[in-house]
Structure 1
Amino acid sequence: IDLLSHLYVMGIIIPRMVIQQNLFGSGLSRLGENKTMEFGFLVDRRRYVGSNFEIAPLDDIQDSIDWLNNEARVSKGWIYPPLIELPLDPSEKKRLPVKDSATWYRFEATHTIRISHDDPDKIRFLILGLGFLFGIYLSPTGYNYIGRVPYKEGKLTGVIPIGDDIVKGTEALSDFYDRHPDERKGMFAAIHWFLLGQTYAHPWDRFDAQYKVLDGLYKISSIPSCSHSRRPVELARYYGVHLPSWAALNNGKSKLSQIRNDLAHEAIYAGEAIGYSNPDEYYDLFFRDFNTKLLAAILNLATIYISSTPEDRQIHAWSFA
């Protein structure tokens, strides 16, 4: 099994490659009757059946697993982009070739999902939400990836599914989509950036992504208008989530809001020019956990994890009721 049979690399001509203007694609998946869509990359041989959906591995999933185990560029739960040779100027022709990570690339599908009625937008929502349940980023066939891609369950959430969590969780995602048509777009955007924003290389970019998610969740909620610094407080109170110490208010401000304001308006992060300092708080983990709990609560995922203590470094299980 060769690397290029499993990754479509932008800038390299490969059979079956599709060049697209839109980074995340549009209409490239095989929909059948708009009830079925292939997606990946998920390392799971199990089949899941709910009241109005079925999720199953493709027949050739073992090929994808073999590629992951034997050929993929992996480190600490991440798949890294393939290396491509960079073009040289005429004056550089005598230099040694230089390789760098591909900017955009694609995986072949590992799974298929089928729902009971014709709604491709709902299928895309369920695929993205399924990634949230597994703690990885999943997308339909034909969509491009940028940067690294997680493959280990729980990598992006710190929470893993057990027992029948995937069926129960997907039922809840389906119910949210059906009951809240006005919030579909905002929730899709929040889950998408919550997951994808963690693939950034630099901590200030990951922080900015999580803050955008927090603002998106505030907009989805029915909480009355309030200041940026108060939004985490009101969200935590409304959804029964413990407020982290770094989001607690002191004279109308919090550590979180101060870092956000400096970064958004002054190109300052943790009190210094971007890249010169890091905050004492471990936002990569704890801000992610706070947003994970808010997402779960808004999606009506019945899990005691929502009420767990903040700033906890343990891996949790969803264990849906």
Structure 2
Amino acid sequence: MRLTSEEAGFLDTTPIKEGKLVDFVVIGQLDRAVEFAEKFWTDNISCPKQTARLSAAIHSLFLSLNPQALRFEQFQYVYMALEACFAMLRQKHKNGCNTNHAQRLSWMCEKLAVSIPTWAAIDVEQAKKTEVSGLRNDAFHEALFAGEPFGFAIEGAGSSQNLVLEMQNLTCRILAGILGVSDKEYLKAAVNNRQTHRVRVSS
């Protein structure tokens, strides 16, 4: 299904089957879910860049879910979605954030009462980096992913961890939190699985 009337249809198409793009389904009053988005728009009517960031974060998340994308592309798309989320929260908390890339994910999680994944926690022994920020730095500054040129390696090979999936799930939780969802069961749920969660928005 097309989302806009722009010429580049491959950029704005989306599946219409539930559970293909996010890890939750809305339980309760669906019109209440729409109100969350409307409130974000009205609250930020004087700052159009905020609403553009929300669209950009969702769009980048969706791009990361394209099955034709290579692993490093999926990582970069979902990382940029998280960066857009950070920009939105930094705008909201204007005087409360002087963080580097390694600190940003844990800062967002703390602000939104989202559980911090282990790969987003700062490792003091690794020069205050996180697993994700290390991958990001190599990819953005050295064209390396998991120690190899793009496309020749994937992160976590030989382990049970699916980092990109977990980042996508975390992005869903952070976006929900930014829009005002306060379902603690969802926000605190583990991100290391393909489970579909119920999100209550009726209260």
- Kindly state the Cα deviation for residue 311 of structure 1 after the two structures are TM-superposed: 1.6
Give the letter aligned to residue 279 of structure 1: E
- Once the two structures are superposed, the pairs formed by residues 266-285 of structure 1 within 5 Å of their partners are 266-280=142-156, 281-285=161-165
Alpha-carbon RMSD across the aligned residues, in angstroms, is: 1.9
Structure 2 counterpart of 1:208, one-letter code: Q
Alignment CA distance shift 1:310-1:198 (3 Å): closer
| Structure 2 counterparts to residues 117-128 of structure 1, below 5 A | none
Deviation (angstroms), 1:141: 4.4
Amino acid at match of 1:290: L
The TM-score normalised by the length of structure 1 is 0.54
Q: CA deviation at 1:226?
A: 1.0
Aligned-residue identity in percent: 26
- Compare CA radii of gyration and give the structure with the larger one: 1
Would the aligned equivalents of 2:21 and 2:62 in 1 still touch at CA under 8 Å? Answer: yes
Measure how far apart 1:301 and its partner are.
2.0
Instruction: Identify, as 1 or 2, the structure richer in strand.
Output: 1
| Residue 235 of structure 1, aligned match among 108, 128, 139 | 108
Higher helix share goes to which structure? 2
Alignment match of 1:316 (pick from 187, 197, 200): 197
Q: How many residue pairs end up in the alignment?
A: 184
Which sections of structure 1, spanning at least 5 residues, go unmatched? 1-40, 42-106, 108-138
Confirm or deny: 8 A CA contact 2:63 2:74 kept in the other structure: no
1:307 match? 188
Superposed CA offset, 1:1-53 (max 9, x none): xxxxxxxxxxxxxxxxxxxxxxxxxxxxxxxxxxxxxxxx2xxxxxxxxxxxx
Secondary structure in 2 aligned to 1:295? helix
- The CA deviation string for residues 76-133 of structure 1, in whole angstroms up to 9 with x for no partner, is xxxxxxxxxxxxxxxxxxxxxxxxxxxxxxx5xxxxxxxxxxxxxxxxxxxxxxxxxx
The alpha-carbon distance between structure 1 residues 198 and 177, as it changes in their structure 2 partners (threshold 3 A), is same
Q: 1:285 to 1:167 in 2, by over 3 A?
A: same
Larger RCO, structures 1/2 (Cα 8 Å, 6+ apart): 2
Query: What is the TM-score with the length of structure 2 in the denominator?
Result: 0.82
For residues 238-277 of structure 1, what are the structure 2 equivalents within 5 Å?
Answer: 238-251=111-124, 252-277=128-153
Give the corresponding residue for 1:288. Answer: 168
On the 8 A contact 1:290/1:310 being kept in 2, the answer is yes
Answer yes or no: is the 8 Å Cα contact 1:242–1:308 preserved in 2: yes
- AA in 1 matched with 2:137: N
